[in-house]
Amino acid sequence: MMQFHFFLKLLKESFRDLIPVILVILFFQLAIIQSVPDNWISTAIGLVIVGVGLAVFLQGLEIGIFPVGEGLARDFAKSGWTIWILIFGFLIGFGSAIAEPALAVIANKAASISSGRIDETVLRLVVAFSVGFAILLGVFRIIKGHPIHYYIIIGYFIAITVTFFAPQEIIGLAYDLGGVTTSTVTVPLVAALGIGLASAIKGRNPISDGFGLIAFAALTPMIFVQIYGIIVYSFVDATSIEQIVVQANVSSPTDITVTSLITGLINVVQDVLPILAIIIFFQYAVLKKHIQNIKIVFLGFILVIVGLYAFILGLELGLFSLGETMAYQLTKSDSALTIYAFAFAIGFSTTMAEPALMAIAKKAKDISDGKINDFALRLFVALGVAIGIALGSFRIVDGGQIHYYIIMGYLIVIVLTFIAPKYIIPIAYDSGGVTTSTITVPLVAALGIGLATNIDGRNPLIDGFGLIAFASLFPIITVMLYGVLTEKLGVKSDTEIEAMNILRDNLIDAENMDLATVNIDGSNRRHSLPMDFSAVVIIVPKDKKVDAIAAAHKAGASGVTILRADGIGLGKMDNFYRTSFNASDSLLLFLLPQAMINPVIKSIIHSLHITTIGKGIAFAFPLTHMKGISLSRHDIFTNRKDHKYNKEKESSSSSKKEDLNQKEIINTI
């Protein structure tokens, strides 16, 4: 029943997210083009199927792909098999890219552009290898804990440098390939892998370390394809072949038959099957561990396949053809502003309905404790895509060179990387890779080719590509600006908000001896709270003092009093008059809330091996009348939650004892 209610919620959100697409189409169709589409009934039916398919797809992600991906990552992290984790990352990237339908289409067109220099199969292998290498590199970064921006900035520098040597026929294509290599299924799985690893490895943060794999997968194809283009254009002679003509024209809705339904479903299964095979192999052959709740997990994968196919089918029933027709009709008009407005609106609306972006945004909200709002994140991503496609359309109309725009955009990204808060940077980089997927690519490609076809002096095979690259770049900028804005506005996480509410409800009463009076975050703001404190005393050799403090700080301790001490062992007590009292030990005194006592002591005794081979003494005793200590909001909130939990546990335990006593009395009678 809970899953059904969750599905109804997803269904409601799916149709809510389709409203912008419907409004854009209605406005431009009726107000600008001023005609009613012939197949409006099939389009309406298609939109209903899209909404239902999207909800089914997201439900499948939640119960199938996310749990499996995060579970695999945790198991790999616990096993310590670094090589196997890297191999798994490479195969997931390679397998998903080689099966990507959009890559097959673009590779086919690339063969025509090159006059036979580029081989379609070789290009797909180059791209798939680059994506596999990207995921491998991203996993390596998470394991080592390196900041993502160092890798990304170096990658951008390489991509931009290579651009000046690449032939013009390959530049737009290479940048576009960076946006289509991560499919709707791959994006959530890769995200789950990264978040799972970052959650399982000690010292990693799921927000700042877990995201970023998709960003690598969007960057490396730009470099590898341009290098491949330089090689083939330098050493391979052109052959006289019949080129595939790329045209923008009026499309008609797809005819739906039993054969087409079966064929389409098989195609989706083929896209998902390599990923599923890799997961099963590593789960059973490498980790030798059964998948938990395997029936529910496979149900999730089935829902993903069915939902994704229903989603694509709904688009084919009229939305794709209608969008391509509108793009064609608008490019025939004389108004450039109308074209830019359509490009902006279609980029914004289709991104808001992008399933991969929804999955990433929900996951970002969950692991950021609500500090990142999923709807606001999607809004800023959609704004970036809209600006990018509008600017890319201007480039085609104006006739500018794509690499100048791209270079300027990446320079802005690099500057913002040093300004934006750290937690938003990996999410921003990933946003560029999830915005160009099932919905956006066909409509954006139709618009770019239509513009390049109908404007004199433009080559559709060269100028028609590049819009997807713009749609991948500008969301990175807008999401970083979203992070800067949230910091300026002081947006708090759910935990911080609840902690502030707790403090707001407590009066300042420093004279009440039954309450502890604390300073908040080291400031002069004092609150009196019903909190229990204890003193933790650690006596260790002087050379272990720093290690003990570091271990305590890692467990949450924020302050310590250090005293010099000299300890006398049992062997010296018989004749202590001859002992030289020089301080050889350190006494560390921590005043901590009750909830932090066990974590701090455990961290210290494990770090210094006090319970095994190490030297030292650790003990704690309760305190009363605590006045004047400084605590953070987070510490106060954690302690209050623990206090509340213990009270509820005591209440439950006492009620159980009363029930047992009553039963004993009844039995006695």
Distance CA 601, CA 489 (A): 38
CATH number assigned to the domain comprising residue 542:
3.30.70.120
Residue among 428, 556, 444 nearest 481 (CA)? 428
Domain boundaries, position 37: 28-237+258-491
Give the confidence band of 250 by pLDDT, cuts at 50, 70, 90. Answer: very low
Distance CA 415, CA 480 (A): 10
In-domain check, residue 526? no
Same domain, 451 and 543: no
Same domain, 231 and 339: yes
Q: What average pLDDT does the segment 56-83 reach?
A: 77
Same domain, 554 and 464: no
pLDDT of residue 129: 92
- As given in the structure block, the two tokens for residue 499 are 């902690």
Same domain, 339 and 393: yes
Same domain, 330 and 457: yes
Distance CA 313, CA 279 (A): 27
In-domain check, residue 191? yes
In-domain check, residue 46? yes
From 466, 491, 516, the end of a domain falls on 491
In-domain check, residue 4? no
What are 590-648's pLDDT values in tens digits?
988 888 889 899 988 888 888 877 788 999 999 888 877 777 766 666 665 555 545 55
Task: State the Rg of the chain over Cα.
Answer: 30
Distance CA 101, CA 327 (A): 22
What are 528-556's pLDDT values in tens digits?
777 788 899 999 888 888 889 988 888 88
Same domain, 292 and 179: yes
Same domain, 395 and 538: no
What are 150-177's pLDDT values in tens digits?
888 898 889 888 988 888 778 877 887 7
pTM: 0.62
pLDDT of residue 526: 65
Beta strands in 521-645 (DSSP E): 526-529, 533-541, 561-565, 585-593, 617-623, 627-631
Residue among 244, 169, 189 nearest 466 (CA)? 169
Task: Tell me the pLDDT of the chain averaged across its residues.
Answer: 77
Same domain, 301 and 358: yes
In-domain check, residue 306? yes
First-residue to last-residue Cα distance in the chain:
44
- As given in the structure block, the two tokens for residue 468 are 């997807």
**What is the number of structural domains in the chain?**
2
In-domain check, residue 68? yes
Q: What average pLDDT does the segment 367-393 reach?
A: 87
Same domain, 167 and 283: yes
Residue 598 host element (H or E): helix 597-608
In-domain check, residue 102? yes
Which amino acid, 299?
A: L
In-domain check, residue 61? yes
Same domain, 339 and 474: yes
From 491, 513, 541, the end of a domain falls on 491
Same domain, 170 and 121: yes
Same domain, 357 and 457: yes
Give the confidence band of 478 by pLDDT, cuts at 50, 70, 90. Answer: very high
